Structure 1
């Protein structure tokens, strides 16, 4: 009977179950996530080689003039040493880990989730999936708010395959695309694009693309040759917060 149970467990019938409970599902980049992994043994004793949590998202990749979503692991965390779970036995494994600073924000089509997997030899590994709501930290939120205060509206926010010059640890970037709807930049710019590269909670490098509106024949020729775009890199720190709107306005004006 035990051999039969082991054979069933190896194909996922009567095997261990896993359920992860997060203390909170709303977090900021660089913040701590805590929770407990609940494991319930199946119909036979099984050795769990490891439990690991993976932080996941997807990004848009282009190939042969087609765009498609690609899953990617942003980070991975191992929780335990090998152990054995008996038939029907319940175990609880508490955990905590720090969210990486470069995790994308939960906005637009960008989704972030945690998967919990048990690595069980010769068995179908049980998994669990929990979505997170990742919100901007204070510095990033202040930048996004300042951009809106300057008269821009967020049109789109997507994780896309990173061009070589912008590639860091991950194969994608999260791009925030704004259009001017009021204020001094309406009529001067077509759009404004932002990408964050956080160095710490108190410092972030920003890649900004300013897309000027075509004016006259020369402007249309520049637009056709993509000469109407300016790419800017600059750093914002917590010390900039009191004058952040003015700093961004000055930077955008310089390339408008």
Structure 2
């Protein structure tokens, strides 16, 4: 039985269908765990188990919310970003220096100090007697990943939006180019929103030429109630979220960039 059929059975009060769906999607969750661990360059069995539990809980929660629309794509396509984002957020919130060996902490610190002093990657590698690839890894390491995916929480639920105001701490020019291109491609999705939604989202984030405002000020400016502004923002975020994950140029570009980085390092 397909995932979509099992979801429909659950929504028609067949509670056993949820367990069948979960068992059927276990390999899918495991594959996302592997992708996330690869992104963070980690290979830790305990953390992998944690991420699997996080993904499983997120799957069940999303099924219970009954927001899946079969006409918009497969259930796997719908659920993937939720599971991956939950796992990434878990690492960002709970990963600590205790999960990194003392030797790696020292090497990371030395690499960064030498890099700040102006030494090239090659010279750092020679100085510390390690490979250039390892130098690059240590310089890229962060206890909190830098992402342009921003989570928003309000009474309508949690959404995720590419934040055009992201400021990277990475001094490398290629990172600045990456951020600029992401903001440029996000604008293509932003332009698909209604004029009213553009004004509300643009002002809320202070993006694309709009002055940043809180929801109360936006409501006063637009002659709407604050609840109406929240609802408009929620609908706009849903549209941006859907458009991003369904074959947008921004998603294609980001995935290609990550693939090149993985090959490079």
Q: TM-score range, shorter-chain basis? A: under 0.3
**Higher helix content, 1 or 2:** 2
**Higher strand content, 1 or 2:** 1
Where relative contact order (Cα < 8 A, 6+ residues apart) is larger, the structure is 1
